[in-house]
Amino acid sequence: TLGELDESVKKELSHRSRALELAKIILKTL
């Protein structure tokens, strides 16, 4: 359903932004 799709999209986006934050931190420490 559309609601389920929306939830999965939100999870994907939050996961991606979290990964980006981690990448920034890692780049700063290099």
Closest CA to 20 of 4, 28, 8, 6: 28
Structure tokens at 11: 């999870």
Global confidence as pTM: 0.58
- State mean pLDDT over 16-30: 95
* Residue carrying structure tokens 């991606």: 16
For the chain, the C-alpha Rg in angstroms (whole number) is 13
At 22 the pLDDT is 96
Domain borders along the chain are 1-30
Tens digits of per-residue pLDDT, 5-20?
Answer: 899 999 999 999 999 9
At 7 the pLDDT is 94
* Residue carrying structure tokens 């939050």: 14
What is the distance of C-alpha 29 from the center of its chain?
21
